[in-house]
Amino acid sequence: MPSSSSSSQQHDGQQQQQQKQQSQKQRHSDLSKQSNTNSDIDEEFCPDPRLATAAAAAAALSRSSSATPSSSSPSATTTTTTTTSSSSSSNAVSSYQRLVKRYRVEVAASASSVLSTLTTFPLDSVKTRMQTYRYAGFLDCVRHTYHTEKFRGFFRGVTAPMASITLVRTVSFSIYQRSKYVYCDWVKRNFAVDVMAHVSSSGSYPNLWSVATFGAAGATAGSCITVIACPFELTKLSAQVSVLMADKKNCPKPGSHAIAASYQNKGTLKTLGNIIKHRGFGGLYTGFRLHLMRDTLGTATYFMTYESSKQLLTTFGGDGTHSNPLAVLVAGGLCGIVSWALIYPVDSAKSIYQRNSLMYSRGEKVEPVKIRFFQRNMYRGLGVSMGRSCAVNAVFFSSFEFLKKRIKAWED
């Protein structure tokens, strides 16, 4: 039956269509529920999209701030700069201390020379005046100097020795220290005698090797420093006796008075210029041979006496460190007394010859001065010179050893 079959097919088609529609409605319903659920979740965490945007921006800014705290904080920048500056300053101080510690002998010698020269220069001035002119004695020289030149007369010419003695002693001690170790090494290699180990050992006494080594090192230093010291010492002598030279009764001939008077009341540089004017550049080394003899013998005796007496006094005192302050003080004073007692006639001859030369022009002959040991007039002012030298070297070596020890104790 065709009609019945057609109706059945049509009925089945309607049922399928209805099922499809129901299925689509069910699917739409599920999607709507899911959308509502998602919407509820989004609104729970970020109910307003503008607040979500602001929160995201704040979080980004917070992360940026935490990532770069030093660049955004002025206090952090200041702290970093201060730390860097402190570190640089500390490095500079450390480098300075290492440099000073390396050259502690030269630094200690320079500072000690200034101190000892200032405190004892009046005695040196009186000594030079007594060597070159006649006085009844020490007090007579002091009274005459104060009466004619006042207190300033005792410090006349102090600038030249302040420069020269500081330079000379610094160079002298530097040369002496190096020469001492060179000679000690030579003795050790050739004679198997360790001089430094013997001197440093507790309870030791000076022997021939130690005395000879220290004397040779001192002679080396003395001969080297004469080249530096001679012009300055000539300038010092000129300033110290310039007033006395200008007196006509002290001039050997009438024509020399004008030259002698030209040295009066001049500073160090002007005196140097005046010497060059009258005697040429070679005039700065007037009396060089006598000066060389004095410094070579005197410096050898000076260091030989100091090292040996300090060793003896330290041994007698029971202190094996060789830095006993009393031993250093006494040894310093003793080395000045002994060295001047030996070389004083040489120094007197040098001073008289230099004084005479200042009153002559270039080309004029100056009579040589002979060195006469054990002759009374060659020892005028010896007591003053020995007292001055004792005081100078006691102050100098006490200060020198103290400063050298303190610098050496600095931490690297």
pLDDT of residue 212: 95
What is the spatial distance between Cα 310 and Cα 329, in angstroms, rounded to a whole number?
A: 9
Spatial neighbors of 175 by CB under 8 A, at least 6 apart, are 220, 221, 224, 225
What is the mean predicted confidence (pLDDT) over 189-211?
A: 92
Q: Is the pLDDT of residue 346 over 70?
A: yes
Averaged over 5-9, what is the pLDDT? 47
Q: Which are the contacts of 372, defined by CB distance < 8 A and separation ≥ 6?
A: 345, 349, 378
**pLDDT surpassing 60 at residue 357:** yes
Question: Locate tokens 């230099």: which residue?
Answer: 354
Each residue's pLDDT tens digit, 134-179: 888 888 989 998 898 888 888 887 776 777 778 888 899 899 999 9
Q: Is residue 177 part of a domain?
A: yes
Residues whose CB is less than 8 angstroms from the CB of residue 224 and which lie 6 or more positions away in sequence, other chains included: 171, 172, 175
102-115: pLDDT as tens digits: 888 888 888 888 88
Range of the domain at 282: 107-408
CATH number, residue 348: 1.50.40.10
So what's the pLDDT on residue 59? 52
Dmax over CA atoms of the chain, in Å, equals 180
Mean pLDDT, rounded, of the chain:
78
Please report whether residue 55 resides in a domain: no
Q: Are 353 and 359 in contact (CB under 8 A)?
A: no
pLDDT digits (tens, 9 = 90+) for 281-298: 888 999 999 999 999 999
Buried-exposed string 361-386: b where 16+ CB fall within 10 A, e elsewhere: eeeeebeebebeeeeeebbbbbebbb
Contacts of 252 by beta carbon, 8 Å cutoff, 6+ apart: 356, 359
Neighbours of 107 (CB within 10 A): 17
Instruction: Reply yes or no on whether the pLDDT at 36 is more than 50.
Output: no
Within a domain: 117: yes
Count of domains in the chain?
A: 1
Contact predicate 166/110, CB 8 Å: yes
pLDDT of residue 194: 94
What are 19-30's pLDDT values in tens digits? 656 665 555 555
Cα-only R_g, the chain: 47
Residue 5: inside a domain? no
- Is residue 159 included in any domain, yes or no? yes
pTM for this model (two decimals): 0.68
239-259 b/e with 16+ CB inside 10 Å = b? bbbbbbbbeeebbeeeebbeb
pLDDT at residue 195 is higher than 90:
yes
pLDDT at 32 over 60: no
* Candidate from 31-35, 163-167, 188-192 with smallest mean pLDDT: 31-35
Angstrom distance (rounded) from CA 373 to CA 375: 5
Least confident range from 290-299, 301-310, 332-341, 359-368: namely: 359-368
Instruction: Assess contact for 313 and 230: CB atoms under 8 A.
Output: no
pLDDT in tens, 63-77: 544 444 444 455 555
User: For residues 127 and 388, is the Cβ–Cβ distance under 8 A?
Assistant: yes
Provide the token pair at 7. 């109706």
Residue at 296: amino acid letter: T
The C-alpha torsion from 402 through 403 and 409 to 411, rounded to 10°, is 160
Please state the rounded mean pLDDT for residues 171-193. Answer: 94
| Residue 42 located in a structural domain | no
Q: How many CA atoms lie within 13 A of 80 on its CB side?
A: 9
Assess contact for 242 and 264: CB atoms under 8 A.
yes
**At residue 392, does pLDDT exceed 80?**
yes
Sign of CA dihedral 250, 252, 255, 256: negative
Task: Cite the DSSP H helix spans in 246-324.
Answer: 256-261, 268-279, 288-317
pLDDT band at 339 (very low <50, low <70, confident <90, very high): very high
